[in-house]
Every structure is written in structure tokens, then in C-alpha cells.
Structure 1
Amino acid sequence: MKTFYAYHKLEKYFLDFENPGRTGLSKGENIQLIMERNHIKNAVYVGDTQGNMALAKFAGIPFIFASYGFGKPEEYDYIIERPIELLNLF
């Protein structure tokens, strides 16, 4: 079975990824796993839902609310209206 990344020919854009189907871990635990595996100290999570915010909080990383999405999280660390704005945050 092809992964999402392979099916959509996205592998060249990602150095590492994980999912609950491969590890049996939750999404938050998979974020932590990828950070540990790749020695990532400063990560952020960009999303648009309360669930995304909860995952970021679980993983101990800042949550950037993508206001152009579909959700309305209760809290966030930063907000962007367009993806290009990520460049200005860091």
C-alpha cells in the first residue's frame, strides 16, 4: 500500500514522517517521536482546529493558528492569515 506522500508524489518535500498506523502511537506521541528521532529542539505546529492545538500542547510545542482554515481553536501562540507569514514569525 502506498503512503499518502508516495501517492501524491510528496516524498521529496519531507525528510521524515510518522502515523498512528505504523507506530500505534497517538498523533501527539508521533510528533514527539519525530522530534526525538531527528533531534529537533524548536518545532511548531501549524493548524486550524482545537484538536491541532491540543496536539501541539501535548507535544510541548507552540501552536500557530492558520486562520484561513476551517476551525476556531480556543487558544494559540501565533496566528497567520497566509502561509507566507510563517517566514515573518521566525
Structure 2
Amino acid sequence: MIREYDLSDPTDLEMLKSDFEMYSADEWQEFIDFSLEDGNKRKISYDERGCLMTARKKATYHSHPTVKQMVWALKIADKIEEIKKGGGKEPTEKE
């Protein structure tokens, strides 16, 4: 799922927070574990892995990272879900 948020719109910010809260700390950990598997290390960058770790930490304490970090973490989650569905193919960026 490609997510687009208008960060100046309060409604979109609430949707963003809701989408972020949809994932538990355990689910963020699953994304991190997936990114560390041998076949996936090159598909998920070091910085993206760090963002996932921040997301997991914030989810553990029921708080929110910055808006930009939430958007980035959700895009990485989408990327990982696409890789899982596509049998290991890296999704193409549409920007």
C-alpha cells in the first residue's frame, strides 16, 4: 500500500499516527529481523534499519517519533511487505 500524507493537514497527521500505531513493537521487530536475513541485507539499507529500530523503540513506549520518521518507517514497512509478497523482488520506487 502506497501511503501519501499531507503533513500540513491535521486530519492526515491523525491518519499517520493511526497507521503508525497499527504496528506493535513486535511487528517492528519482525521487520528488523527480516532486514537482517542474509538474502535481504542489501534490499534494506543501514539507515532504513535504523529507522525501523527507532519505530520499534517508540512503539514499545507507546509514543511517536517525528512525523517524518513515521512516514519513512511506514514506507519501509510497505517496502518489506512488498518484498515478502513478491518473492524477494525489490519494489520499484514511484516518486
TM-score with structure 1 length normalisation?
0.24
Larger Rg: 1
TM-score with structure 2 length normalisation?
0.23
Larger fraction in helix? 2
Q: Tell me which of the two structures has the higher relative contact order, counting C-alpha pairs closer than 8 angstroms and 6 or more residues apart.
A: 2
